């Protein structure tokens, strides 16, 4: 069994934000301190072990149960949900077992020892113009959210569904790439808790963002974002982890159009296991180094037992160049600094992926000469890829792996073992691109040109 380190002290405090139809900007918190060195496979805390009573508040029995009654078709149920959460705060359960319509922002960052038991369905309003000026603005990568959920020991479960009605956003974004598209579920400032046994469908943008949180579990989630038109469901990341520590994500299915999982800046002590990802960009460290004068740290991450199908990448590490001139999608960035350290990808089956493994310090740039002239300020060290199998798509013909660093001293101790990934037979034996990296421990066929 994979093990996680024992719980460390909480890094962030609860935010109390006022939910309204006005745009609320969230504060940009400083990065957490760098933890001490950590062994590759640490030991498990009790909170990370699945059990039948995991969702019970640890300090007191349930004192209250608050059932939310739906108001009816087209009527906003958010005020009633917030009221029930306040009534059942400190050890209660909020029962959501009907069809609910959500048409206004919701701030639920005040919760203490509360379970949100969703066996019904919450459907968010899909008024694109309304959400340009409502919700909670998150400065990182210009995001916004329908709602924020946070506090101490907050658990969301019950077998129900949250729908973002994303098709309207997919179609609108195709003709206006400046539109804000709300994140479907944001856990903000949580210390302990979980999201489990929930279906998330048609998120307009990222499905999940975990921010400024610690000791949190995601388990048994089903996410699905498929456009019904020719307009792609873009940027529908499964889970993005940002400025958070001691996190577990497991036993889930993600069908989407961007990263299956993304470890954003200052994500530490994370286990990801037993996922089936389809249509994604891979399980990604980054992107990092996007913002000038920011320090990004991602370390002590263990990813295991992953199925990756019809994807751009299997395992990916992506960092920006050492200048702000780079461009990727709608983001301008580069010249941030930091480190990626102690990352393990152990066990991945790939099917029809473009690269089984990709490491790049040239994110946002296709010109490798430019990258060499402006090396990344992000260090990548102590990374292990092992036990990969399957086939690539042939997009890059027989190239199955690409490990391209912008300078030789910026990538150290990268290892690849037992990598059994083939390219389509018509392209011949698989090869790997390896540039500005010591290939001694890269047991892949580093014979392809990276020019």
Segment 52-93, tens digit of pLDDT: 444 444 444 567 999 999 999 999 999 999 999 999 999 999
* pLDDT, tens digit (0-9, with 9 covering 90-100), for 306-325: 999 999 999 999 999 998 86
| Per-residue pLDDT, 298 | 98
Residue 268 located in a structural domain: yes
Residue 150 located in a structural domain: yes
What CATH number should be reported for the domain holding residue 349? 2.160.20.10
Residue 137: pLDDT over 50: yes
Return the higher-pLDDT residue of 154 and 15: 154
Secondary structure letter of residue 167 according to DSSP: H
Residue 404 parent element (H or E): strand 399-404
Task: Please provide the average confidence, as pLDDT, over all residues in the chain.
Answer: 87
Residue 38: pLDDT over 80: no
Mean pLDDT, range 157-166, rounded to an integer: 98
The CA-atom distances, in angstroms, between 324 and each of 85, 321, 332, 338, 359 are 44, 8, 7, 15, 20
CA dist., res. 417 & res. 255, Å (int)? 28
Q: Which of 52, 48, 36 is nearest to 1 (CA)?
A: 48
| Per-residue pLDDT, 227 | 97
Mean pLDDT, range 364-390, rounded to an integer: 91
Active site residue 443: no
Residue 63 located in a structural domain: no
CA dist., res. 277 & res. 256, Å (int)? 8
Mean pLDDT, range 407-434, rounded to an integer: 96
410 phi/psi in degrees, rounded to 5: -100, -10
Residue 374 located in a structural domain: yes
| Per-residue pLDDT, 369 | 81
CA dihedral (254, 188, 182, 74) in degrees, to 10, reads 100
Residue 68 located in a structural domain: no
| Per-residue pLDDT, 365 | 79
Residue 50 located in a structural domain: no
Ranking 28-42, 67-81, 219-233, 425-439 by mean pLDDT, the lowest is 28-42
| Per-residue pLDDT, 366 | 75
CA dist., res. 127 & res. 197, Å (int)? 28
Residue 19 located in a structural domain: no
Counting the structural domains of the chain, the total is 1
Contact assessment for residue 411 and residue 439, using Cβ atoms and an 8 Å cutoff: no
CA dist., res. 426 & res. 392, Å (int)? 12
Strand partners, 374: none
Q: Report the predicted TM-score, pTM, of the whole model to 2 decimal places.
A: 0.87
* pLDDT, tens digit (0-9, with 9 covering 90-100), for 167-183: 999 999 999 999 999 99
The CA-atom distances, in angstroms, between 350 and each of 93, 148, 336 are 41, 34, 31
Residue 233: pLDDT over 90: yes
| Per-residue pLDDT, 109 | 98
Residue 273 located in a structural domain: yes
Task: Name residues whose C-beta falls within 8 Å of residue 319's C-beta, 6 or more positions apart in sequence.
Answer: 286, 287, 288, 289, 340, 360, 361, 363, 376, 378, 380
| Per-residue pLDDT, 24 | 45
Secondary structure letter of residue 31 according to DSSP: P
* pLDDT, tens digit (0-9, with 9 covering 90-100), for 398-414: 999 999 999 999 999 99
Domain range enclosing 212: 77-447
**Catalytic one among 55, 90, 269, 281?**
281
How many helices (H) and strands (E) the chain has is answered by 3, 29
- Percent of the chain residues past pLDDT 90, beyond the cut: 78
Start-end of H helices in 14-166: 78-87
| Per-residue pLDDT, 326 | 57
Return the higher-pLDDT residue of 50 and 14: 50
| Per-residue pLDDT, 5 | 31
Q: How confident is the model at residue 382 (pLDDT cuts 50, 70, 90)?
A: very high
Task: Name residues whose C-beta falls within 8 Å of residue 231's C-beta, 6 or more positions apart in sequence.
Answer: 170, 171, 173, 174
| Per-residue pLDDT, 327 | 59
Mean pLDDT, range 435-445, rounded to an integer: 95
Q: Check the CA dihedral 16-217-271-238 and report its sign.
A: negative
Secondary structure letter of residue 5 according to DSSP: P
Question: DSSP assignment of 212-274, as one string?
Answer: S-EEEEEEEEEEE---SSSS--TT--SEEEESEEEEEEEEEEEE-SS-SEEE-TTEEEEEEEE
| Per-residue pLDDT, 28 | 35
């Amino acid at each position: 069994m994979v093990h996680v380190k024992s719980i460390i002290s909480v890094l962030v405090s609860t935010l109390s934000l006022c939910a309204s139809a006005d745009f609320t900007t969230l504060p940009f918190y400083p990065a957490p301190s760098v933890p001490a060195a950590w062994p590759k496979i640490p030991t498990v805390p009790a909170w990370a072990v699945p059990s039948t009573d995991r969702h019970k508040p640890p300090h007191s029995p349930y004192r209250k149960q608050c059932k939310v009654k739906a108001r009816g078709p087209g009527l906003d149920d958010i005020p009633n949900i917030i009221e029930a959460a306040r009534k059942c705060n400190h050890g209660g359960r909020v029962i959501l077992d009907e069809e609910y319509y959500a048409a206004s922002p919701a701030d639920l960052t005040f919760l203490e020892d509360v379970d949100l038991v969703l066996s019904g369905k919450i459907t968010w309003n899909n008024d694109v113009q309304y959400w340009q000026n409502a919700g909670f603005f998150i400065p990182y990568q210009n995001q916004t959210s329908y709602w924020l959920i946070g506090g101490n020991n907050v658990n969301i479960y019950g077998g129900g569904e949250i729908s973002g009605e994303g098709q309207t956003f997919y179609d609108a974004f195709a003709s206006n790439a400046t539109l804000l598209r709300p994140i479907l579920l944001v856990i903000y400032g949580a210390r302990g808790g979980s999201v489990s046994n929930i279906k998330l469908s048609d998120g307009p943008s990222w499905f999940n963002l975990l921010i400024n949180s610690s000791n949190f579990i995601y388990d048994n989630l089903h996410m699905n974002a498929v456009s019904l038109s020719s307009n792609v469901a873009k940027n529908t990341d499964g889970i993005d982890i940002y400025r958070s520590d001691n996190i577990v994500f497991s036993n889930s299915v993600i069908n989407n159009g961007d990263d299956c999982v993304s470890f954003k800046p200052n994500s530490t002590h994370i286990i990801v296991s037993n996922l089936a990802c389809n249509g994604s960009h891979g399980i990604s460290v980054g992107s990092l180094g996007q913002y000038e004068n920011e320090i990004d740290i991602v370390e002590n991450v263990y990813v295991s037992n992953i199925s990756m199908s019809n994807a751009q990448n299997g395992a990916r590490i992506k960092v920006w160049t050492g200048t702000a001139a780079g461009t990727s999608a709608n983001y301008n960035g580069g010249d941030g600094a930091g480190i990626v350290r102690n990352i393990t990808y152990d066990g991945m089956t790939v099917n029809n992926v473009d690269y089984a493994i990709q490491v790049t310090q040239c994110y946002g740039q296709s010109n490798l000469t430019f990258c060499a002239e402006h090396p990344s300020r992000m260090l990548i060290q102590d990374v292990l890829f092992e036990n990969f199998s399957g086939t690539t798509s042939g997009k890059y013909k027989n190239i199955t792996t690409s490990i391209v660093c912008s300078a030789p001293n910026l990538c150290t101790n990268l290892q690849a073992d037992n990598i059994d990934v083939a390219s389509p037979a018509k392209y011949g034996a698989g090869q790997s691109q390896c540039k500005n990296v010591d290939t001694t421990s890269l047991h892949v066929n580093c014979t392809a040109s990276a020019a």
